[in-house]
Amino acid sequence: MPSTRPNQRRSSGTGSSGSDSHVIWALLLLALVLLVLFIGAGLAYVVWRHPSLATPLGVACTAVTLLVTVALALTRR
Q: For residue range 35-68, what is the model confidence (pLDDT) as tens digits?
A: 989 998 999 999 999 999 999 999 999 999 999 9
Average pLDDT of the residues of the chain: 84
Give Cα 45 to chain centroid, integer Å.
23
More confident residue, 2 or 37: 37
Q: Side chain identity at 39, as an amino acid letter?
A: I
Do 13 and 19 touch, CB atoms closer than 8 A?
no
Do 47 and 57 touch, CB atoms closer than 8 A?
yes
Domain ranges for the chain = 17-76
Distance CA 17, CA 22 (A): 9
| CB within 8 Å of 47: residues ≥ 6 apart | 53, 54, 57
More confident residue, 36 or 5: 36
Query: How sure is the predictor about 24, in pLDDT bands with cuts at 50, 70 and 90?
Result: very high
pLDDT above 70 (res 14): no
